[in-house]
Amino acid sequence: MDADDGSIIEGDSIRETILRLLRLRGQGKTICPSEVARTLAEDWRPLMPQVRAVARAMAQAQELVFLQRGHRVDPDHVKGPIRLALVARSELDPRRAVQSSQE
């Protein structure tokens, strides 16, 4: 999954890496978006905007939350360092759960 050859990283690969790292870390734990980028490429810094964009889409889909200093923040308006965490099942919007089960 290493993209050191300069190739573009697919959004799905980023999403899968985010989920894998969060699951490995465990419920209630967080990861830094740079951990995702470092997992995907040796030259990881250019991936950061793409990692944050994929994470933002995942937050909008209620798959994860953005945290800053331990508090939830709006992914569309946050500036500075963030952490990513899985959404606890108790926090899921019941309407989204019904939609997912019908797809």
Domain boundaries, the chain: 11-102
Summarised one tens digit per residue, pLDDT across range 51-81 is 999 999 999 999 999 999 999 999 999 999 9
Q: Which residues contact 38 (CB under 8 A, 6 or more apart)?
A: 44
What per-residue confidence (pLDDT) applies to 97?
Answer: 46
Q: Determine contact, residues 1/17, Cβ cutoff 8 Å.
A: yes
Answer yes or no: CATH 1.10.10.10 is held by domain 11-102.
Answer: yes
Q: Higher pLDDT residue, 9 or 90?
A: 9
Q: Determine contact, residues 42/30, Cβ cutoff 8 Å.
A: no
Mean pLDDT of 9-27: 93
How is residue 68 written in tokens? 């800053």
Q: Higher pLDDT residue, 24 or 1?
A: 24
What per-residue confidence (pLDDT) applies to 98?
Answer: 42
Q: Tell me the longest C-alpha to C-alpha distance in the chain.
A: 43
Pairing of β 83-86 and β 71-73 = unpaired
